[in-house]
Amino acid sequence: MTSTQAPQPAHQRALIAEYIAESLRTLPAGSSFAVRVAYTADHPVDSLTPRRRLSHFHAENTLSRRVLAFVSQGGCLVAGLEVHEFTTLRIEAQGDQPPRTRIAVDCCIEKLDTSGELVCRMPIARALVAGYLRSLHRYSAALNIPSVGVHLFARAQPEYLFAKSKDNPRKRILGDLELVKWWQRALEFALEYGVGSTLDKNNPPSACPEPVSACSHTAVANCIVPGSTMGESPWFFGNNSGSCNERSKSVDWKWGLPYPLSARAHDCVLQFPDDPITRLLAEAHSSSWSVSALLDMLSVSEECGSGHRTAYFLASLPLYSGVSVQASDIADSSTASQGHLSFDDYDKILIALFDHEMDFSNPASAHSSSSRLFNCLDGSYDIPVIDVETVGPATTRDTAQAEKPRELPTVNDLSTMVRKKRKVVS
């Protein structure tokens, strides 16, 4: 590996899927699911801070890959997650001092969606995100880094991965602010789960984990709602019923972006593809903007202002060696591309998912559409399938609704990186 070549950690598809499966297994007992995960090989991309000013020697290389996870039940897709991961190698030297090499990993949650076809009401979207975040500990074993950045832009849209699912009467639509609160609780749970103890297939962690007494690590999470003030933060961070924040101190919430307000935005704010911040900072007159000025512009932008209520969530998920990762799960860098999809193949999967014949508006068409996608995943790309049997305890709500599980909306349509006003959530 040359001095400016970023490392290419290999991430087995089965490894990510196994962590998601473990998270799903903690859901109320009696349900069966199947997990599939597709991902691309690492691919060189532009820097996440393309116009950063530097006063000393600096070399940087950023690699990116995409991850697409699906959960199905009874042969029908019920939830999906798309994430964009970035690995950046920076080499910096100043004066006579030896060069410093730093590796940073950031993941951007782009889409989270449900189809409306879950048989029994349960927090499957939350469990899917939690399992994915727990899987990020693979970076500690592969790159020996202390933390991973987790980013998402939350804005409502009735469907994103599952075509016509907005017409499914079993979906529940939340308003903008309710959606932001849902994401705060869901991300809090997922981060809490992510800093949990070692993955143990014989003793899976709880669906709402107790405080992690054996580990002092804390995930620091930031939230900013453009147009809102710090005085409104208790409305978002308050101890809501069922929030894991009442049971654990493993997530430290802070209001605002984790950058100095007076700092030049281009020097520190990460710019992810298809993001309102990225589009604002692409404007020629943004060169001198401070972080404070960027937030002011964001609050009156077309995507985050004009009555829209959106949120940016940024978290630092601590990694530690306590999570068990088998040596066979971390391939040599020379074989890092083996088993990965090309970007073209990944796009073909998305094309199959968004085909005009796909329809999740009712059970019959949802099963037919799911079968079409499975033929693509299992036939053309040999995506591994992991079966899951849930073993968690029933909740009070589950017990109350046991006799009529279909009378209430069972799933929320959740997505990020979107540009419409309403969102579906579970």
Domain ranges across the chain:
13-212+312-424
Strands (E), 243-310: 251-255
- Spatial separation of the C-alpha atoms in residues 426 and 409, rounded to whole Å: 8
Backbone angles phi, psi at 64, to 5 degrees: -135, 150
pLDDT tens-place string over residues 129-157: 999 999 998 898 788 899 999 999 998 88
Please give the distance of CA 55 from its chain centroid, rounded to a whole number: 34
**171-188 burial string, b = 16+ CB within 10 Å, else e?**
bbbbebbebbbbbbbbbb
**To the nearest 5 percent, what fractions of the chain are helix, strand and coil?**
30, 25, 45
Q: Report residue 240's pLDDT band, with 50, 70 and 90 as the boundaries.
A: very low
Mean pLDDT of 355-360: 93
What pLDDT, on the 0 to 100 scale, is given for residue 321? 52
Closest listed residue to residue 355, CA positions, set 161, 158, 75: 161
pLDDT at residue 402 above 70?
A: no
> ∠ CA(402), CA(407), CA(412), 5° rounding?
95
Output the CA–CA distances (angstroms, integers) from residue 191 to 169, 374, 403, in the order listed.
31, 30, 33
Burial (CB count <10 Å: 0-12, 13-18, 19+), residue 151:
buried
pLDDT tens-place string over residues 199-221: 343 444 444 333 333 344 789 99
- Is beta strand 219-224 parallel, antiparallel or unpaired with respect to 251-255? parallel
292: which 2 tokens?
């404070």
Give the chain's mean pLDDT. Answer: 80
What pLDDT, on the 0 to 100 scale, is given for residue 401? 44
pLDDT at residue 363 above 80?
A: yes
Mean pLDDT of 336-357: 84
What pLDDT, on the 0 to 100 scale, is given for residue 209? 39
Q: Which residue has the tokens 């103890």?
A: 197
Compare 35 and 325 and report the one with higher pLDDT.
35
Report the half-sphere exposure of 370 (CA within 13 A, side-chain side). Answer: 27
Q: Is-contact 88 79, C-beta < 8 A?
A: no
**C-alpha torsion 175→176→180→185, nearest 10:** 10
Q: Report residue 235's pLDDT band, with 50, 70 and 90 as the boundaries.
A: confident
pLDDT at residue 102 above 50?
A: yes
What pLDDT, on the 0 to 100 scale, is given for residue 35? 97
294: which 2 tokens?
């960027």
What pLDDT, on the 0 to 100 scale, is given for residue 261? 95
Burial (CB count <10 Å: 0-12, 13-18, 19+), residue 74:
middle
pLDDT tens-place string over residues 246-284: 445 689 999 999 999 999 999 999 999 989 999 999 999
pLDDT tens-place string over residues 285-341: 999 999 999 999 999 998 887 777 899 999 999 987 544 444 334 333 333 444 589
Burial (CB count <10 Å: 0-12, 13-18, 19+), residue 375:
exposed
DSSP SS3 for 380: helix
> ∠ CA(251), CA(313), CA(230), 5° rounding?
85
Q: Is-contact 254 314, C-beta < 8 A?
A: no
pLDDT tens-place string over residues 36-47: 999 999 999 999
What pLDDT, on the 0 to 100 scale, is given for residue 397? 53
- Spatial separation of the C-alpha atoms in residues 185 and 70, rounded to whole Å: 22
In one letter, which amino acid is 394? A
Q: What is the DSSP letter of 223?
A: E
Mean pLDDT of 11-23: 82
Mean pLDDT of 117-121: 91
